[in-house]
Structure 1
Amino acid sequence: MKISIGNDHAGPDYKKAIVHYLESKGHQVTNYGTDSVDSVDYPDFGHPVANDVEQGKADFGIVICGSGNGIAMTVNKHAGVRAGLCWTKEIAYLTRLHNDANVLSIPARYTSIQQAVEIVETFLTTDFEGGRHQNRVNKIACQ
């Protein structure tokens, strides 16, 4: 799989661990995130991830900021992007199963690095259920 990842100053260590995990599973990773803890603006790192998903250059995106909210709001502005804010494996499972999310948003200040890697694993290994959920997903996009 092709996965794009982006993070602000709250997530360099998370990104490093996640990229290591992804590459160990044979995934191709495009990294747009900062490696510094110096304050930066999360939209600068979220938009490139969303662009990759929107344009089909990436199968999935992963974004990380302190609460996960700001960067999720950023990427959700892009057509065809459905980002889910996930702070547990169970939420990651449901956001894929029911919402067909294609971008995972992780709140670095509310999860451990180990939890974040487990969330990524769950997100990427869960298929969209379709069925009754497909109509709902179709209604997410603005017409």
Structure 2
Amino acid sequence: MDGSGGPRPAPPMRAADSDRAATVHVLQDAVARGLLTPDEGSDRMAAAWAAVHLRDLAPLTADLPAAPVPAPLPARTGAPGWRPLGLMAWEQVRTTVRRTPGRPGIRLALAAVLAVLLLVALGSSLLEAVFDGGPGGWGEEWDGPRDRWGELDPD
């Protein structure tokens, strides 16, 4: 009770950071939809972050219409599978090798792919020969000099 004998009014509710952030989100949406100018939106957002009580936040969005509710997305029945992925990959390859002025054609692109595959095959066979005991490779163990028939030389 106050000095006049009447009931005391409830103190104003303090605003939480989540309340301020929700108000700023509404204001950002209003600026994006063209309901507020960027300057007006900026001023209102600054006032929202500076607000102490909930009653200070309400006037900042009172003159804005509610955001339209987006239509729900159609429900998916499952994973799209490999077919759409393959179609997208094919479309990417087709677009990449399409002949345009100043760009090489499909023959040059295929020749480049074949050259890379050939280099990979040659490199892998060379590495196999070196590391897996090919002629002069590291795979053979040295156990001494040999005679001309391949027998170990007893000397």
Q: TM-score, normalised by structure 1?
A: 0.21
Choose between structure 1 and 2: higher helix proportion. 2
Q: Choose 1 or 2 for highest CA Rg.
A: 2
1 or 2 for the larger relative contact order (CA 8 Å, sep ≥6)? 1
